[in-house]
């Protein structure tokens, strides 16, 4: 793919996607997210040589929300290896309706680390390891995105924390099964901070290049994960990374990806590049509408997916 002209492809996508920008609904469960304009669209590709290709609002920061689940998982996986799978599964969740039932049937073990229940368990692991899990995660993200300036949006964090009754319910429920080791309040504090990290599409595209590079940071070769683990994490993104639309997303786009309700989606082209697209208006599934379409265009235009 050395001859792939990513900038030309992004420009092409940017033109074609215009009518789709703003279609859907911006997340509104907290006022801070509701304020974001649906007119944004940014997309960035960072290849393994460090080249950056970008269009639109690729350098505007936004709330990464559930994309933080990918980074928290990576950090926990990095620290504890396969032991993490004793406490969280690797299967798609089926549908949202069942989440609590499944927790009940499966004795407090969430289906996967990308649903809220699973991310709470992963956060709990980080809370056990670090006095300030949110700072540890921030440092880690700064490192893998090669940007020391990444930070939290405190207003978003606070607002998330004040509307976290559903997450509290799940956390208490898992605690009743013994699958949460730290106080519920502490885990929720960290979790809400994680969701409130702000990054640009370019930051995020770079932050996932290690997954396209066999687990190592392309600019210095530092191993975040070993090669096998990096592949496995990508597999998990494909089967579970885009809420209850993972099957459809794999079918249409065919790339490992993780989305957030802030409108961001990161994706990985193994051996080639990290990708991020951001557009705040969401489909009912919680995935960015224009973002999903842009990634579909990308694999159609390049003729490349993992399949």
Residues that bind a copy of itself (CB under 8 A): 89-95, 97-98, 100-102, 104-105, 111-112, 165-166, 168-173, 175-176, 184, 227-228, 230-232, 234-236, 238-240, 244-248, 250-252, 254, 256, 270, 300, 303, 305-307
Q: Whole-angstrom Cα distance, residue 246 to residue 286?
A: 11
Determine which one of 26, 253, 261, 268 is catalytic: 261
Please say which residue, 103 or 199, places its beta carbon nearer to a copy of itself: 103
261 is catalytic: yes
Minimum CB separation of residue 244 from a copy of itself in Å reads 7
Q: Whole-angstrom Cα distance, residue 51 to residue 98?
A: 43
Minimum CB separation of residue 254 from a copy of itself in Å reads 5
Burial label for 12, CB within 10 Å (0-12, 13-18, 19+), is middle
Please say which residue, 57 or 272, places its beta carbon nearer to a copy of itself: 272
- Match 């690797």 to its residue by tokens: 90
Axis-axis angle for helices 165-176, 184-195 (nearest 10): 140
Nearest to 173 by CA among 89, 109, 91, 83: 109
Please say which residue, 30 or 138, places its beta carbon nearer to a copy of itself: 30
191 is catalytic: yes
Please say which residue, 147 or 300, places its beta carbon nearer to a copy of itself: 300
14 is catalytic: no
The DSSP H or E segment spanning 276 is strand 273-278
Minimum CB separation of residue 237 from a copy of itself in Å reads 9
Minimum CB separation of residue 63 from a copy of itself in Å reads 20
Which region holds residue 259: left if phi is over 0, alpha if psi is between -120 and 50, else beta?
beta
Tell me the HSE value of 120 on the side-chain side, using a 13 A CA sphere. 30
159 is catalytic: no
Determine which one of 6, 14, 53, 243 is catalytic: 243
Instruction: Name the residues annotated as catalytic.
Output: 66, 69, 191, 243, 261
């Amino acid at each position: 793919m050395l001859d792939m002209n990513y900038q030309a492809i992004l420009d092409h996508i940017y033109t074609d996607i215009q009518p789709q920008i703003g279609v859907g609904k911006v997340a509104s469960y907290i006022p801070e997210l509701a304020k974001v304009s649906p007119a944004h669209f940014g997309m960035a590709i960072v290849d393994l040589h460090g080249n950056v290709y970008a269009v639109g609002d690729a350098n505007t920061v936004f709330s990464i929300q559930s994309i933080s689940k990918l980074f928290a998982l990576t950090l926990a996986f990095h620290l504890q290896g396969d032991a993490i799978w004793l406490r969280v599964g690797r299967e798609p969740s089926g549908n949202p309706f069942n989440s609590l039932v499944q927790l009940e049937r499966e004795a407090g073990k969430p289906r996967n680390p990308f649903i809220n229940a699973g991310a709470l368990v992963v956060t709990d692991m980080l809370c056990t390891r670090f006095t300030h899990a949110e700072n540890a995660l921030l440092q880690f993200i700064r490192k893998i995105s090669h940007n020391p300036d990444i930070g939290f949006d405190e207003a978003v964090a606070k607002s998330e924390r004040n509307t976290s009754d559903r997450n509290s319910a799940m956390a208490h429920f898992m605690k009743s099964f013994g699958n949460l080791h730290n106080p519920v309040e502490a885990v929720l504090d960290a979790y809400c901070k994680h969701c409130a990290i702000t990054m640009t599409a370019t930051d995020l595209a770079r932050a996932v290049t290690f997954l396209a590079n066999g687990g190592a940071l392309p600019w210095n070769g530092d191993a975040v994960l070993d090669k096998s683990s990096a592949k496995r994490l990508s597999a998990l993104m494909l089967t579970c990374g885009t809420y209850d639309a993972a099957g459809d997303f794999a079918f249409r786009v065919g790339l490992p990806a993780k989305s957030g309700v802030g409108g961001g989606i990161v994706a990985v082209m193994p051996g080639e590049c990290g990708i991020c697209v951001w557009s705040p208006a969401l489909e009912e599934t919680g995935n960015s509408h224009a973002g999903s379409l842009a990634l579909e265009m990308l694999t159609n235009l390049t003729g490349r997916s993992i399949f």
